[in-house]
Amino acid sequence: MIRSTVSRLAIPAVALGLILSGCSSDTGTTGGDSSIGTTNDINPRDPSELRDGGTLRLSLGGFPSNFNYLHIDGTNEYTSDVIEPLLPSAVISDAAGEISVDHNYFTDIKLTGTNPQQVTYTINPKAEWSDGKPITWEDLKSQAHALSGADGGYLISSPQGFDRVASVDRGVDDRQAVVTFSRPYAEWEGQFSPIYPKSVTESPDAFNNSVRDNLPITSGPFVITNIDRTQNRITLGRNPSWWGDRPKLDTITYSVLDSSAEVAAIQNNEIDYTAVGGLSNVTIARNTPGVAVRRAPAPGFNVLTFNGAPGAILSDVALRRAIAKTINRQALAETWHQGVLDNPKPLNNHIFMEGQKGNQDNSGDIRFDPDQAARELDALGWTLNGDVREKDGRKLELRDVMYQYDPWVDVAKIIQQDMARVGVKLNIETVRGQGLFSDVINPGKFDLVQHGWSGGVFPLGALEQIYAWNPDNPQSNHARVGTPELNALIEQTVSEVDPDKARELANRCDVMIWNEVHSLPLFQGAGNYAVRADLANLGAFGLASKDWTKVGFLK
């Protein structure tokens, strides 16, 4: 399950924006809705109330395939979960999504020019990497170059606006960086979250390969102390050179578990914290002694992505549109959230979540209408032959791929039944562990894929990352669908520094994304987490960033 951040990427819930997940943390307790941006539920306590020490046991769906979150193979929940306590970020956010400077790493971040746009970063003089070297302007310059797209050897998942940066220069000293833009960038506050040392970004080979198996140089309250691939476990310990507030925990462990095993692991006191989905799992967690279920709507949603690549059966937008109309998204939302949300409903926006400023319904005629879908399939030449339609000797048979996770399979079975009614055969295929990303989604080995996006407070970054299309640099556009007109409107949107105008333009983009039938947002997450009841400052964070120095067990 996913519970992080992308451009919508993000380490804190504020970074890049959207992060890819297998089965997003989109579930809920009884009652409530899915509107984000108001509260969180983390059992807030003053650190003085916590005992010093202890081990927090967490789970991962698989080992990170690359500890470089900026790399195409690293922008996923596994990498994000592990590096949160390890790497710097420029900003943090609260439960309402309000942004502030992360003073552990920067004393000040200011917009110091508008024509051209210029941002000055003043680095905390105490901030250093775990090898003792100071964090300097050169780390920022190197990362900006890596993400700029100027060198195609860097296999980035998103430029994060650095394709708009003209220069990163030394300021008054090595602890200050001045970023000057060649084109305006609306979400400049979301840049440099996370930050990697220059050694990771200084060359394409270093960027692509140097931290595939480990992350030896970090800069956070914790460091990696052990990676045991035999036991499927990653262990973090306190960073002895950390200059900020001393963490309450001694260690954090991540154990690789299938999503289906996480609730049992909570129940059996094998882990301390996990997202929980579905009424049965929420009920199990609630009935487990010493476990609390904490809930706050999160900026994540489940999605069905179409493979529209040239040569794929769904490369025809008219066919994608007809197929989309066979899917009853309202029924899917009700099935997923049955008994855990008061009024389950589908999400009708690819950019803005329910409760987020800018959210509106842009789905147009992409609605459940099987009769219309059948007429459109007839018009496209897909005629019924027995139970399955055919065209030019090819059956209308699709592969729907997802994690091996029972709630996902339940959703797929409903889609399968919906499609069968109009003569479309859907085959359900499941994948265990991290193979969904590396083996299926990234290489495009699917017709439909069910997964999740989890975002943060900088939603516009998703436009470039996921919905813009450049065949030479697909980034996270796994549908391989787009148009020059959409690209141009995305460029205009992310260049607009007026937030209200940017949101208006983003919704115009979303209309075009719907028209291209890039993907179907299914339903938003409700954000339930099972947590040891004696854990404080941990739970359902909503839009807020985690403070790993304050997480701990009550005295």
Average pLDDT for residues 468-494, to the nearest whole number?
A: 94
Element of type H or E holding 93:
strand 91-93
Here the CATH number for the domain that contains residue 473 is 3.10.105.10
Check whether residue 324 and residue 367 sit in a common domain: yes
| Distance in angstroms (rounded) separating the CA atoms of residues 79 and 73 | 9
Encoding tokens for residue 311?
């040569």
Check whether residue 387 and residue 431 sit in a common domain: yes
Characterise 311 by phi-psi region: left (phi > 0), alpha (psi -120 to 50), beta (else). Answer: left
Q: What percent of the chain has pLDDT over 70?
A: 93
Here the CATH number for the domain that contains residue 292 is 3.40.190.10
Average pLDDT for residues 301-325, to the nearest whole number?
A: 97
pTM above 0.75, yes or no: yes
Q: What is the pLDDT of residues 425-477, one digit of tens each?
A: 999 999 976 678 778 998 999 999 999 898 788 999 899 889 999 998 888 89
Check whether residue 322 and residue 441 sit in a common domain: yes
Check whether residue 240 and residue 188 sit in a common domain: no
Q: What is the pLDDT of residue 19?
A: 53
Encoding tokens for residue 336?
């997923």
Check whether residue 331 and residue 348 sit in a common domain: yes
At residue 462's C-alpha, the angle toward residues 459 and 464, to 5°, is 130
Q: Is the pLDDT of residue 17 over 80?
A: no
Domain residues for 261?
A: 47-61+221-296+527-553
Chain mean pLDDT for the chain? 91
| Distance in angstroms (rounded) separating the CA atoms of residues 525 and 454 | 9
Check whether residue 238 and residue 318 sit in a common domain: no
Give me the helix-helix angle, 279-286 and 259-267, nearest 10°.
Answer: 20
Length of the chain: 555
Residue 16 lies in a domain: no
Radius of gyration of the chain measured on its C-alpha atoms = 23
Q: What is the pLDDT of residues 212-261, one digit of tens each?
A: 999 999 999 999 999 999 999 999 999 999 999 999 999 999 999 988 89
Q: What percent of the chain has pLDDT over 90?
A: 77
Q: What is the pLDDT of residues 496-551, one digit of tens each?
A: 999 999 999 999 999 999 999 999 999 988 789 999 999 999 999 988 999 999 99
Here the CATH number for the domain that contains residue 159 is 3.90.76.10
CB-CB contact of 149 with 475 (8 Å):
no
Q: Is the pLDDT of residue 29 over 70?
A: no
Residue 457 lies in a domain: yes
Check whether residue 304 and residue 292 sit in a common domain: no
Q: Is the pLDDT of residue 322 over 60?
A: yes
Average pLDDT for residues 351-362, to the nearest whole number?
A: 92
Among residues 453, 455, 483, which one has the least CA distance to residue 468?
A: 483
